[in-house]
């Protein structure tokens, strides 16, 4: 369970440029659910994701995972629970390293610093089998530098790398915004399948209203730092794509 209680986030507090990005936001997200958050630019959705990830600390309020207070826990410490896929495909991988080495780094993400995971044949086979599920033909190119791949290929591999550990929470921060339509569709199908297969607590931020309508069970709309709509699975199932577009008209 992710529990946000009375979250406020103020930037440049006390200065003429002060901005309130989140105002008294409380939210419970159940384990192994897929929640989609939509909203216009400046609505607070990315700030909310950053507060969950630990990239930002709230000005006030609390964040808890399974009743454990993580409000002031650093982002790298939260990585034991969280994997995050960003908008820019370049953000989630090391371009100069091979695909295999990128997967090795992903496997070390939540491991104690004193431990090391080798890249023996068993690990190579595991990586190749995982990559083969994409159907992109990359399983035979695992020694190729990651930087030689397309944005869509890198984003797909980033999704796979996110579940190399015992991740519980998957944060998808507009993961298709920089991709062409074909690659974007592949990424969303892959993300949905990974969320189901690994029973992840998944939060997707998107500007793509079709994806917001298609994926996830719960739909939240934000505006001016507030949650203004929160639809459960039944209510979302009754929502038409036209209705969703009307929210932003």
* Mean predicted confidence (pLDDT) in 113-126: 68
CA nearest 188: which of 156, 220, 165? Answer: 156
Average pLDDT score, the chain:
89
pLDDT at 201: 95
CA nearest 219: which of 211, 209, 230? Answer: 230
For residue range 82-98, what is the model confidence (pLDDT) as tens digits?
Answer: 988 888 777 778 888 99
pLDDT at 115: 45
Q: Which class in CATH covers the domain with range 2-247?
A: alpha beta
CB atoms within 10 A of CB 90: 15
Q: Which of 139-148, 155-164, 181-190, 205-214 has the lowest mean pLDDT?
A: 155-164
For residue range 39-67, what is the model confidence (pLDDT) as tens digits?
Answer: 998 899 999 999 999 999 999 999 999 98
> Does the pLDDT of residue 112 top 70, yes or no?
no
Sheet (strand 19-29) strand order: 19-29, 2-11, 60-65, 68-69
The pTM for the full model equals 0.88
What is the band of 113 on the pLDDT scale with cuts at 50, 70, 90?
very low
pLDDT at 3: 97
* Mean predicted confidence (pLDDT) in 169-178: 91
> Does the pLDDT of residue 236 top 60, yes or no?
yes
> Does the pLDDT of residue 249 top 80, yes or no?
no
> What are the boundaries of each domain within the chain?
2-247
């Amino acid at each position: 369970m992710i529990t946000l209680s009375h979250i406020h986030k103020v930037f440049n507090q006390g200065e003429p440029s002060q901005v309130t990005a989140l105002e008294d936001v409380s939210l419970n997200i159940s384990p192994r659910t897929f929640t989609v958050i939509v909203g216009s630019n400046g609505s607070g959705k990315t700030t909310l994701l950053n507060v969950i990830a630990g990239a930002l600390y709230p000005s006030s309020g609390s964040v808890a995972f399974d009743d454990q207070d993580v409000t002031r826990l650093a982002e790298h410490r939260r990585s034991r629970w969280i994997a995050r896929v960003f908008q820019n495909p370049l953000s989630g991988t090391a371009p100069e390293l091979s695909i295999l080495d990128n997967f090795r780094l992903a496997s070390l993400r939540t491991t104690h610093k004193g431990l090391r995971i080798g890249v023996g044949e068993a690990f190579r086979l595991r990586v190749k089998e995982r990559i083969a599920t994409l159907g992109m033909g990359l399983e035979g190119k695992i020694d190729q530098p990651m930087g030689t791949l397309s944005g869509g290929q890198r984003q797909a591999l980033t999704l796979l790398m996110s579940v190399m550990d015992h991740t519980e929470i998957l944060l998808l921060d507009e993961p298709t915004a920089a991709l062409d339509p074909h690659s974007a569709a592949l990424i969303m199908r892959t993300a949905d399948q990974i969320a189901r297969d690994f029973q992840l607590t998944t939060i997707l931020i998107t500007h793509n209203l079709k994806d917001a309508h298609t994926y996830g069970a719960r739909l939240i709309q934000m505006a001016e730092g507030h949650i203004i709509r929160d639809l459960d699975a039944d209510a979302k199932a009754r929502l038409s794509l036209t209705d969703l577009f009307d929210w932003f008209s």
